[in-house]
Structure 1
Amino acid sequence: MKTNNLIGSLFLAALIFTACSKKDDQQIEPPVEETVQDGRFVVTALPYMSYIFGNGADLLYTTNTLDSGTLVTTGTGLEQDGVNRNYVIANNKFFSLLFGQGNPGSVTAYTMDTNAQLKKISNFQTETMTAFGAVGEDILMIKNAWEPTQSISNWYRVNTNSLEIVSQGQINTNTLSGNGEMALFTSVKQVGDKVFLPFVSIKTARSFATSYRDSSWIAVYSYPDMTFEKVIRDNRTGAVGAYFTDAIEVDEQGDVYAIGMSLGTDNGSSNGQKSTKPVGIMKIAKGTTDYDNSYFFNISNISDNNYVFRKLYLGKGNFLLMMSDTHNTYANNAKKFAIANVYTQSFKWVTGTPDPATILGITEYSGNYSPKDGKTGYVGIITYTDEGFVSQVFKFDAETATAKVGLTVEGQNIIRSINWVPVSE
């Protein structure tokens, strides 16, 4: 059910171009002569025809900058064994997780060497995961239940040192919301010595229908034993996050900011019934497990009723919000960008991004990058021009609320993720 936000708009154009040939499962980039001191960016891209028809695989490319230049893709790249991949940086390692459409998927781990080469250090099978996140030196992964008759969602803790599943357990997702519906977790976030698991309340993950669009929930667990502690609930906005969409962040002071996206669901329709509550950002102060009732950043009011589909925390209270004026259950198709500061509750639309009419998509889910300097963020944007599809990394500046073109990806490719991987060997 993991939807592609470009399928509808790209299908006609897909008939124009020929598919790219599949590369061997090996790194065939030319040797890099210089020694890398700190690390390299890993840009994940996929030939767009493979993306459309789901018959290809992501390719990993390394680069020393996102600010300018062209990323050469011809004859280069490290191929993954599947198109629906998600990526996590944990303990200075790069993890590639395969979404197996309900089937088991592989987890592949890499390190970055001093010659800017990704080195595969592990590959093992897990169940399909729909929520995951780095927690200390672990990756906590959750396989969400799809039907209320299943009742149980499974969690798995992968240790990033031993590179194996070290513990696992079950969560009864039919009891968390307390309203007769089931919980579907949207993300995993470490908060001190606890794990916060935001979820949406739904009747079934097969349709995403719900009778409870106007509340937000976060389940709290101790870590690493994953003992349930409580559910944090609020009714000032809608659910925190969406399917495969992280909408919760911990700032430098240890405070939690959660974005109620108010997207709602209705039979899986991308434009189904939405929440009646405004899109808003809530706060959970450090050391507490309750929403701060004195804090509510009303994004709907300040943005003329636009929706937040993605977020990227830039540091110092600044968020880059990826937005749209059109409701979408799956939080796809963001075409506008804004800088929001949760400390001052200020909001500015970003200038310098492509005309929304030309934007076909942005980097999927949470695959964007910021050094968290309070200023800088990088997002992949795919546009359609007279020359065809163009994938570019845009550099955002929170201080001026502007963006400019940085790295351009060669060829007809879709940028899937942008990560910084430090040298660890």
Structure 2
Amino acid sequence: MKLNRNLILALSLFAALGTACSDIAGSENEEEQQQPTNYTVAFTAQGSENESTDYIFNTEDLMSGSLSAEGIGIEQTGWRYMYEQNNTLFSVGYFDDNNAIAYELDDEGNITEKGRFVFENTLDLFGKADDNTALAMEVPRIDFADRVLHKIDINSVSIQGKENLRIWESKEDSLVAWPTDLEVRGGKLFVPFYKIHARGDFSTPQTDTAYVAMYSYPELEFEKYITDTRMGPIGVYGLFNGMIADENDNLYAYSSASLANGFTTQSKSSGILRINNGETEFNDSYFFDVEEEAGGKINFIEYVGNGKAVANIVTDDSQLWGSFSAGNEIHKLVVLDLENKTSTEVSNMPLHGGFYGSPWYVNDGMVYMSVTTSESAHVYKVDVENATATKGAEILGNKLKGIYDLN
């Protein structure tokens, strides 16, 4: 009996200690969960369009105070494209800088270099093949040349392979393909593109049809072209998201055909087509005439969830390439209901300028975006369900090229 009483006493003490440790661990976990999220931002310092400098740094707050790279930013060389995948941020050189540098967060949440690789010509396009593989494409601007697709191992930050693709060309018309997205789905690679003149001036004499080149993946054997004449070319130069996917893997392709977005001719309304999951043609019964519904042409679009997307809409289409000046206030923001084909303008959002890349961060029905006007630059948080915007932190620079959560 004495042994049993001692055993019971020991077990009771062990249980009490276990409960106390559990309470402490639970308290620590709760405290850790309540700590603010560290965001990583790609920041462009104030300066002329050709002389501005890019930086990368962390911030715990996007919605109050100000954002500045002074004293904390990791300076980047030259003008950069930014692309994020699988908690890895790629800073990719442009024109005469052929270095791609990958960054991640260390165990203390500090930005650290993960690796780098070198490419031959500018990588103008990025996309996700799978969690561990990114795609990037060299797109020569002049003459009839290969579009070189790179497979990039994100873990080792190295090029695993290259494939030369022509996508589309017509020597008779002196036209070549400019791709606007790289979408992998169901063993296929979808590459939407528009036609530009081979002399390299980015003129677009044919804008009456939407085009997608389809390849097998990972074999990269060309299979067919997907076309539709209900709208014009898919995507916009420098934004690499001509198609967006919803939760059900339906692909939505958008057309801008806007002078402000670089299209020298316009022949069809700005709109959206859909390729249903498991299919390889545009759905005959789906066309969303966004230009009619929203009162302007799409500059950029981002899928949020539950059939909703947010889109920058061009309100003044009188200036060629007008969308690419951060302070040129020609864009409004709308919420697009892709199923019901409706548009709702976002309240409390000023007219604003444009950007390159894909600089919006989506989290739990909210969209965080860099908004630059002729007077200032701020982060805005957009509540998609209610189509309202809230002004956040002031950007003490030109703009943010991206907002990321690398945790």
Q: TM-score, normalised by structure 2?
A: 0.83
Distance 2:213 2:268 in 1: 21
Query: Distance between the aligned counterparts of 2:220 and 2:170, measured in 1?
Result: 14
Shift of 1:256: 0.5
SS in 2 for 1:300: helix
* Deviation of 1:113 (Å): 2.2
Q: Does 1:112 align with 2:105?
A: yes
- The structural deviation recorded for 1:177 is 11
Shift of 1:214: 1.1
Q: 1:417 aligns with which of 399, 402, 405?
A: 402
Bigger CA radius of gyration: 2
Larger RCO of the pair (alpha carbons < 8 Å, separation 6+): 1
Q: Counterparts in 2 of 1:226-375, with a 5 A limit? A: 226-245=220-239, 246-263=241-258, 273-304=264-295, 306-327=296-317, 330=321, 331-332=323-324, 333=328, 334-354=330-350, 356=351, 359=352, 361-371=353-363, 373=364, 375=365
Cα contact 1:217–1:232 (8 A) shared by 2:
yes
Distance in 2 (alpha carbons) for counterparts of 1:39 and 1:205: 48
Contact persistence 1:57–1:80 (CA under 8 A): yes
- Aligned residue runs from structure 1 range 20-39, under 5 A: none
Q: Indicate conservation of the 8 Å contact 2:125/2:182, yes or no.
A: yes
RMSD: 2.5
Q: Which residue of 2 aligns with 1:90?
A: 85
Q: For residue 7 of structure 1, what is the aligned residue in structure 2?
A: none
Counterpart in 2 of 1:44?
42
Change (3 A) 1:72 1:242: closer
- Give the distance between the partners of 1:271 and 1:253, measured in 2 at CA: 32
Secondary structure of the 2:220 match is coil
Q: Partner amino acid for 1:228?
A: F
* Cα distance between partner residues in 2 of 1:376 and 1:338: 13
* Residue 391 (structure 1) aligned with residue 391 (structure 2): no
Q: From 163, 166, 180, give the equivalent of 1:186.
A: 180
Structure-2 change in CA distance of 1:277 and 1:413 (3 Å): closer
State the distance in 2 between where 1:235 and 1:177 align.
22
Q: Provide the secondary structure at the position in 1 that maps to 2:61.
A: coil
Contact 1:69 1:407 in 2 (8 A): yes
Find the aligned partners of 2:304 and 2:171 in 1 and give their Cα distance. Answer: 32
Question: Equivalent residues in 2 for 1:211-222 (5 A)?
Answer: 211-222=205-216
- CA deviations 1:153-212 (Å, max 9, x no partner) are 111111112221111011124448997621111222222332211111112262122331
* Alignment CA distance shift 1:382-1:198 (3 Å): same
Any conservation in 1 of the 2:381–2:389 contact (CA below 8 Å)?
A: yes
Aligned to 1:10: none
2:372 match: 382
Q: Which has the higher helix share?
A: 2
Distance verdict in 2 for CA 1:63–1:251, change over 3 Å: same
CA distance in 2: counterparts of 1:290 and 1:345, whole angstroms: 20
Distance 2:264 2:162 in 1: 36
Contact residue 312 and residue 334 of structure 2 kept, 8 A: yes
* Aligned amino acid, residue 216 of structure 1: A
For residue 61 of structure 1, the aligned residue among 37, 57, 65 is 57
Alpha carbons of structure 1 residues 309 and 329: separation in structure 2 relative to 1, 3 Å = farther
- 3-state SS of paired residue (2:278): coil
* Paired residue type of 1:381: V
Tell me, what secondary structure is at the counterpart of 2:373?
A: strand
Q: Which whole-Å deviations, capped at 9, do the CAs of 1:245-299 have from their partners, x for residues lacking one?
A: 22210110010011111236xxxx8776432211111110001110001000111
Once the 2 structures are TM-superposed, how far is the Cα of residue 41 of structure 1 from its aligned partner? 1.5
User: Which string of whole-angstrom CA distances, capped at 9 and with x for unpartnered residues, describes residues 383-419 of structure 1?
Assistant: 233xxxx22110011111111112222x334322212
Residue number in structure 2 paired with 1:15: none
Q: 1:273 to 1:147 in 2, by over 3 A?
A: closer
Match of 1:156 among 135, 144, 150: 150
8 A Cα contact 1:158 1:164, kept in partner: yes
**Structure 1 length-normalised TM:** 0.80
Is the contact between residue 39 and residue 116 of structure 1 (CA under 8 Å) also seen in structure 2?
Answer: no
Tell me which of 60, 66, 70 is aligned to 2:66: 70
**Offset of residue 104 of structure 1:** 5.0
Distance, in Å, in 1 between the alignment partners of 2:170 and 2:40 is 37
Corresponding residue to 1:139 among 92, 109, 134: 134
Q: Give, in whole Å, the separation in 1 of the partners of 2:189 and 2:171.
A: 17
Aligned to 1:30: none
List gaps (5 residues or longer) in structure 2. Answer: 1-30
Which blocks of at least 5 consecutive residues in structure 1 are unaligned? 1-33
**Amino acid aligned to 1:118:** I
| Deviation (angstroms), 1:112 | 1.0
- C-alpha contact (below 8 Å) 2:238/2:356 kept by paired residues: no
Q: Is the 8 A contact 2:261 2:299 kept in 1?
A: no
CA distance in 1, matches of 2:76, 2:84: 16
**Matches of 1:166 and 1:364, distance apart in 2:** 27
Partner residue, 1:79: 75
Q: How many pairs does the alignment contain? A: 367
